[in-house]
Amino acid sequence: MIKNDLFLRALKGETVDRPPVWMMRQAGRYLPEFMEIRKKYDFFTRCQTPELASEITVQPIRRYGMDAAILFSDILVIPQAMNIEVEMKPNFGPYLPSPIRSKEDLDRVIIPEVGEALGYVMEAITATKEKLNDEIPLIGFAGSPWTLLCYCVEGQGSKSFDKARGFCFTQPELAHQLLQKITDTTIAYLKAKVKAGVNAVQVFDSWGGMLSPKDYQEFSWQYIQQIVNALKDIAPVIVFGKGCWFALKEMAQSGAAAVGVDWTCSPQNARYLTGGNVTLQGNFDPARLLSPPNQIRKMVTQMIHDFGKDKYVANLGHGILPNIPVDHAKAFVDAVKEFKA
């Protein structure tokens, strides 16, 4: 039994004394202890070495005592497992030297045996669970099929993913074939993570906001819904789409245990759009963690009042930025832990 199950209780919609708190991307780049590891090992070595991944996962827990840990990994391990080469270039980000833009490209994409191709992730889960010792839950995650398609077609990060969107609009049949391959792999991957011991899973649709509401339904949401349907009976699923306020209603009705909200949607609007019946997660602007700690505390307290303490998980509206001072992150976590209704 997990000793601090506040996060899991909030996902079930139970009444709690205060909301649970964790931060997207809490394991990593803003922590000095992570920087030490980063000096010695490249990005995918950190992801693919269970001892390193588990150590990075628990670093923020030791420092701040969040109510949930999220496994250190990357959404791009799935394309790697699907026979798509992915590099992580320093000061550049992800780079895919052979992007998927034709039928010939798509033919080389496989649906892997995830236990073999991504076994190192399952080993990292086992190692992390040992370190956590049932103190708090562990979250596993994956990128949405659409978000992964963006990288697989564009070949790198982008502000607009024009090549990826153009691929969908000019070759929709190929796009849907690629999206389905990614979806099938993601479902198998998340099921394996649950079997390995994660207590909940989150689907990150980081680039969903690039699409119009109509195109979102066609190229993103229907595939996320498949993932939710496949996982919801074995683990709580959190769905998070950045810039996807227009899809909050569908997300709330999907069977997901919780819906993530970014900082561009107010708590009041998020409750209204989701019908008020689903647990919400979010939505502190990550850049606001640059504000003075006393101001952060006040804003966090107000955020909890605006969402309401029940059916709510306190979090950021996207991943923590690398330049956030550690005492500012602490002010965010402490403000939630000290909240009194």
pLDDT in tens, 283-322: 999 999 999 999 999 999 999 999 999 999 999 999 999 9
Q: Contact 267/283 with Cβ under 8 angstroms? A: yes
Owning domain of residue 178: 6-337
Q: Where are the beta strands (DSSP E) in 80-206?
A: 87-89, 93-95, 138-143, 200-205
**Is residue 63 among the annotated active site residues?**
no
Determine which one of 5, 67, 74, 262 is catalytic: 74
200 is in an annotated binding site: no
222 is in an annotated binding site: no
The answer as to whether 136 is a domain residue is yes
The answer as to whether 61 is a domain residue is yes
Determine which one of 38, 63, 105, 215 is catalytic: 38
Q: Provide the number of structural domains found in the chain.
A: 1
- Phi (first) and psi of residue 94, to 5 degrees: -65, 140
pLDDT in tens, 107-165: 999 999 999 999 999 999 999 999 999 999 999 999 999 999 999 999 999 999 999 99
The answer as to whether 289 is a domain residue is yes
Angle, alpha carbons 110-144-199 (nearest 5°): 100
Identify the pLDDT of residue 19: 98
Q: Contact 20/313 with Cβ under 8 angstroms? A: yes
**Is residue 162 among the annotated active site residues?**
no
29 is in an annotated binding site: yes
pLDDT in tens, 188-239: 999 999 999 999 999 999 999 999 999 999 999 999 999 999 999 999 999 9
The answer as to whether 271 is a domain residue is yes
**Is residue 165 among the annotated active site residues?**
no
The answer as to whether 1 is a domain residue is no
Whole-Å CA distances, 32 to 71, 117, 205, 274: 18, 31, 28, 38
CA–CA distance, 277 with 259 (Å, rounded to integer): 11
The answer as to whether 51 is a domain residue is yes
Confidence class for position 341, pLDDT limits 50, 70, 90:
confident
The answer as to whether 185 is a domain residue is yes
74 is in an annotated binding site: yes
CA–CA distance, 299 with 339 (Å, rounded to integer): 12
In this structure, the strands spanning 279-284 and 87-89 are unpaired
**Is residue 134 among the annotated active site residues?**
no
CB count within 10 Å of CB 232 equals 15
220 is in an annotated binding site: no
DSSP state of 320: P
CB count within 10 Å of CB 292 equals 10
72 is in an annotated binding site: no
**Is residue 25 among the annotated active site residues?**
yes
285 is in an annotated binding site: no
Identify the pLDDT of residue 8: 98
Identify the pLDDT of residue 206: 97
Full-model pTM: 0.98
25 is in an annotated binding site: yes
CA–CA distance, 250 with 208 (Å, rounded to integer): 14
Determine which one of 5, 67, 101, 151 is catalytic: 151
* Residue 158 burial class via C-beta count within 10 angstroms: exposed 0-12, middle 13-18, buried 19 and up: middle
Instruction: Give the CATH number of the domain where residue 16 resides.
Output: 3.20.20.210
In this structure, the strands spanning 279-284 and 69-70 are unpaired
The answer as to whether 209 is a domain residue is yes
